[in-house]
Amino acid sequence: MTWTEADTGILLVGVLCAMACALPGCFLLLRRMSMMGDAISHAVLPGLAIAFLISHSRASWAMFIGAAIAGILTALFTQWISKFGKVDRGAAMGIVFTTLFAIGLILIKKTADNVDLDAGCVLYGAIEFTPLDQVVLWENESSLLRVPRAALVVGGALLFNALVIGLFYKEFTLASFDPALARTHGFRPMLMHYLLMTMVAITTVASFEAVGSIIVIAMLIVPPATAFLITRNLPLLIGLSLGLAALGAILGHLFSQLIPSLIGLPETTSSGMMATMAGFLFLLVWLLGPQGLLRKSKIEEITEPGLPPKL
């Protein structure tokens, strides 16, 4: 394989996107809501279709608003169903996202069948094509700095997430670990919940057009979960997640070029491989990390006698 400018572009988009996802993913993990990313990324479909129906164009801003609204509605509906109907949150999430996804499939079929907007494109994205749409950042006689437009979008999402988490770090932490205490201190845990959901929705929407929602779902969950096996310290958890996310994206792109040629097949999608490599890193840490399966001594098990099996 040969390294081209396109590869750099893909890598840049992938890394930025992975890091943008890993940030809110840490708090999703702590709040035991990791599946929310999966739910939101499926449920944005009707938002896209309705935005298209209203604006009659594939203008990015209309799609963005439509999908973001659909994403936040998913979080709202899930909350309502589990609160008013006293339904398990997982089940509520499952009902909301499958129903919205089904509505989205029908709307797209009805309204946008002839346009380049299909469910597959939302799910898989087309990270391979991102380098085709370049934006010139800086230009003078000697040099020219161009980046894919998608890099700006996911970079913006990363910046937004970093800003929000930076501003409300204390509130997020408290609301994640002890919502009741947060409420007594006047921090409004529900507000934090919806802010987190908004972050997830915006990140999902910013990413799917460029890279598809597979990376989003994987990077929201896998790097924070991997980091969680290594540390119990929150700042370290966030830092490690960012690093692991970036590493997963880089490895993913490299292997998407290398592996198929090794076994004599054509190149494959980078986004699928990025998710796979994030999973591979998790497997490594799971087996070999500080608490790793293969390193676990018998003494550790004796320190927790009589506990029921973890279920």
Partner 1 sequence: MSVADLHLIASSEFFDTLIKTLFLESYNTRLVVLGTAFLGATAGIIGSFLLLRKQSLLGDALSHATLPGIGIAFAVMVALGGSGRNLPGLLLGATITGLLGVLLVLAIRRTTRLKDDAAMGIVLSVFFGLGVAILKMVQEIPGASAAGLDSFIYGKPASMIMSDLIIICVTLLLTIVICLIILKELTLLCFDDSFASTQGYPTTFLDIILMGLVTAVTVVGLQSVGLILIIALLITPPTSARFWTSDLRKMLWLSAFIGGLSGWLGASFSAFFEDLPAGAIIVITAGIIFLISMIFGPTRGVLPRYLRQRQLKRKVGRQHILRSVYEIMEAEQESHPLKNLPISLERLRDHRVWSKGELPRLIRQARSEDHLERQPSGELRLSESGFGEASRITRNHRLWELYLIKHADIAPSHVDRDADMVEHILGAEMVHQLEAELELQEHTLESPHVIENESPSHAG
Minimum gap (Å) between residue 142 Cβ and partner 1: 40
Helix H segments across the chain?
A: 5-30, 35-55, 60-84, 89-111, 119-124, 149-167, 169-177, 179-184, 189-211, 213-230, 234-262, 270-288, 298-302
* Minimum distance from residue 253 beta carbon to partner 1 (Å): 12
- Identify whether the C-beta of residue 168 lies closer than 8 Å to the C-beta of residue 184: no
Selected from 53, 55, 69, 90, the binder of partner 1 by CB under 8 A is 90
Distance CA(303)–CA(14), nearest Å, equals: 42
Binding mask 154-193 for partner 1 (x = CB under 8 A): ----------------------------------------
Residue 86 as a binder of partner 1 (CB under 8 A): the answer is: yes
**Opening angle at CA 262, ends 257 and 265, nearest 5:** 75
Could you say whether residue 194 binds partner 1 (CB under 8 A)? no
- Residue closer to partner 1 by CB (options 147, 209) is 209
Stretches 25-33, 63-71, 131-139, 237-245: which one binds partner 1 (CB under 8 A)?
25-33
Amino acid at 158: L
Min dist. Cβ of residue 283 to partner 1 (A): 9
SS3 148: strand
In whole angstroms, what is the distance from residue 139 CA to residue 146 CA? 8
111 or 134, CB closer to partner 1? 111
* Cβ closest to partner 1, residue 73 vs residue 93: 93
Nearer to partner 1, 161 or 226 (CB): 226
Distance separating alpha carbons of residues 243 and 188, to the nearest angstrom:
31
Q: Would you state the structure tokens that stand for residue 238, as one six-digit string?
A: 């966030």
3-class secondary-structure state, position 144: strand
In terms of CB distance, is 124 or 194 closer to partner 1? 124
Strand partners, 134: 148
| Closest distance of CB 6 from partner 1, Å | 17
Q: How far apart are CA 161 and CA 84, in angstroms?
A: 30
For partner 1, the closer CB: 119 or 250? 119
Positions in 96-115 near partner 1 (CB under 8 A): 98-99, 101-103, 105-106, 109-110, 113
**Which one among 15, 16, 33, 51 touches partner 1, defined by CB under 8 A?**
33
Phi, psi of 252 (to 5 degrees): -60, -45
Among left, alpha and beta (phi > 0; psi -120 to 50; other), residue 18 is alpha
Structure tokens that stand for 203 in this block: 């990140």
CA dihedral (207, 208, 210, 214) positive or negative = positive
Contact code string over 42-61 relative to partner 1, x by CB under 8 A: x-------------------
Residues that bind partner 1 (CB under 8 A): 29, 32-35, 37-38, 42, 81, 84-88, 90-95, 98-99, 101-103, 105-106, 109-110, 113, 119-120, 123-124, 214-215, 217-218, 220-222, 224-225, 228-229, 256, 260, 265-266, 268-269, 271-276, 278-279, 282, 286, 291, 293, 308-311
